[in-house]
Amino acid sequence: MNAVSGGKRDRRVLLKLSGEALMGNAGHGIDVATVARFASDIAAARQDGVEIAIVVGGGNIFRGLAASASGLDRTTADSMGMLATVMNALALAGALNDAGCPAVAMSAIPMDTVCEAYARRRAVAHLAAGTVVVFAGGTGNPYFTTDTAAVLRAAETDCDAVYKATQVDGIYSADPKKVADAVRYDTLTYDEVLARNLQVMDAAAIAIARDNTLPIVVFSVAGEGAISNAIAGKGRSTRVSV
C-alpha cells in the first residue's frame, strides 16, 4: 500500500522521531535494538516507493531547554542539544545502511568530518535518488525546537506530509496517560490546534505547516511496523490540515 495523507498518495514524507524514542526501555542514551527496529520499519516504507526524510530530536542525550531552566545559558544549552541530535542521526543513518537502506545524515551545523552539511539542493537530490536523509542539528539556530526544524525541512524539501511519532495514537484534549476521559481527535485544523493549545508541536511548527498547507499526521510509534503502517495510512492517527 502506498503512503497516503487525506486520501492521496504521499510521494515524499518527513518522519519526526523524538530522541526519547531511541532510548527504548532504557532511561537514557541510545538503545541499539530499538534503533535497528526503527531502521527496519523505515526501510520497509521506503521499499513501498516512498521517499523519506527524518528529523530526530536529542532529548535522550541532552535537552537544551531543561538545561537552560537549570541555569545554563540558553544559547549554549540549545547548541549542546543540537549536537545531541547529530549523534542520534548518525546512529539512525548507520542502522538504516546496515539494514540495506541507503541513508545519509545531514547537519545544519557544518561538521564535514562527521557528516554532510545541510544544503537543500543536495538533500532533494538524495531523496529523489531513494536515499533516506536524516536531518540533524535542528535549524542550526538556538530557540527553535526540532519540531520546528521538522516542518521547516519538510517544506524546504517539498514533502507531502509530516508524520510525527509519539507515545500515543494521535492528539488528545489532554494527556491520556494522566486524564482518563481525555478526548481523542481524528482530524483537526491548524487553527484548532493553536486555539486549544494542544501542544503536539510548538506554535512555530504549526504556523509553518499551516502557511505551507503541509499536513501533520500524529501516530504512536509503539509496536512492530508502526512507522511503515502509519505512512501507508493504516492504524489510528490524527491528521492536522486545513
Mean pLDDT throughout 148-165? Answer: 98
- Structural domains in the chain plus CATH codes: 4-241 (3.40.1160.10)
How sure is the predictor about 7, in pLDDT bands with cuts at 50, 70 and 90? low
Summarised one tens digit per residue, pLDDT across range 58-87 is 999 987 667 777 788 999 999 999 999 999
Structure confidence by residue, pLDDT tens digits, 182-226: 999 999 999 999 999 998 999 999 999 999 999 999 999 998 999
- DSSP string spanning the chain? ---EETTEE-SEEEEEE-TGGGGTTSSSS--HHHHHHHHHHHHHHHHTT-EEEEEE--TTT--HHHHHHTTS-HHHHHHHHHHHHHHHHHHHHHHHHHTT--EEEEESS--TTTSEEP-HHHHHHHHHTT-EEEEESTTSSTT--HHHHHHHHHHHTT-SEEEEEESSSSEESS-TTT-TTPPEESEEEHHHHHHTT--SS-HHHHHHHHHTT--EEEEE--STTHHHHHHTT-S-EEEEE-
Can you give the pTM of this predicted structure?
0.93
